[in-house]
C-alpha cells in the first residue's frame, strides 16, 4: 500500500529533525575534540560546560529516538555507542588534564567515521522522501 502525502511529509520532517540532532552533536563534539587535541586543556574556555553541552545534545538525540522509535537503525545505534566511547575518553582527558590523547583520538575517529555513514544514509533518505512528496 503506498504512503499518503501526510505520512511522507511526517517522515520527511522526522528524518530532518533527527539529522539536525545528530549534526549538532557532531559539530559540537568535533569542535571540542579538535581543541583538546591542539591545545592544553587548561587553556580551553568553559571546557567542562562544553562537555556538559555535548552530553545534553546526546541525551536529546537519544530522547528523540526513543519517542520516534521507528527512525532507529543499527547504524544510528552504533553511532551513539561510538559517541559514548569518544565522550568518555574526552571526559577523562579533561578531568585528568592528560596530555596523552591517543585513546581519545582513536575513539573520536571511530565516531567521526560512523557519523559520515549515518549522515550519508539520512541525507539519502531525506532526498528520497522529498522527491516522493
pLDDT of residue 1: 53
What are the residue ranges spanned by the domains of the chain?
5-132
The C-alpha cell at 99 is: 596530555
- pTM of the entire structure? 0.94
Question: What's the CA gap between 125 and 127, in Å, rounded?
Answer: 5
pLDDT of residue 107: 98
Mean pLDDT, consecutive 10-residue stretches, the chain (133 aa), reads 88 98 98 96 96 98 96 96 98 95 97 98 97 93
pLDDT of residue 3: 87
For 70, other C-beta atoms within 10 Å of its C-beta total 8
Q: First CA to last CA across the chain, in angstroms? A: 16
The C-alpha cell at 22 is: 545528530
Query: Does the domain at residues 5-132 carry the CATH identifier 1.10.260?
Result: no
The C-alpha cell at 108 is: 573520536
Question: What's the CA gap between 11 and 42, in Å, rounded?
Answer: 44
Instruction: Please tell me the number of Cα atoms within 13 Å of 75 on its side-chain side.
Output: 13
**Furthest CA-CA distance within the chain:** 59
CA 123 to chain centre: 14
Amino acid at each position: 500500500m503506498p504512503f499518503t502525502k501526510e505520512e511522507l511529509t511526517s517522515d520527511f520532517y522526522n528524518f530532518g529533525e533527527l539529522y539536525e540532532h545528530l549534526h549538532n552533536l557532531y559539530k559540537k563534539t568535533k569542535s571540542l575534540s579538535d581543541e583538546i587535541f591542539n591545545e592544553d586543556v587548561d587553556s580551553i574556555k568553559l571546557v567542562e560546560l562544553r562537555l556538559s553541552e555535548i552530553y545534553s545534545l546526546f541525551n536529546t538525540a537519544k530522547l528523540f529516538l526513543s519517542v520516534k522509535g521507528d527512525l532507529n537503525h543499527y547504524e544510528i545505534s552504533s553511532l551513539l555507542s561510538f559517541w559514548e566511547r569518544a565522550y568518555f575518553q574526552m571526559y577523562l582527558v579533561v578531568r585528568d588534564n592528560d596530555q596523552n590523547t591517543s585513546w581519545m583520538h582513536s575513539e573520536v575517529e571511530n565516531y567521526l567515521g560512523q557519523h559520515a555513514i549515518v549522515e550519508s544514509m539520512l541525507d539519502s533518505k531525506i532526498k528520497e522522501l522529498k522527491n516522493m512528496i
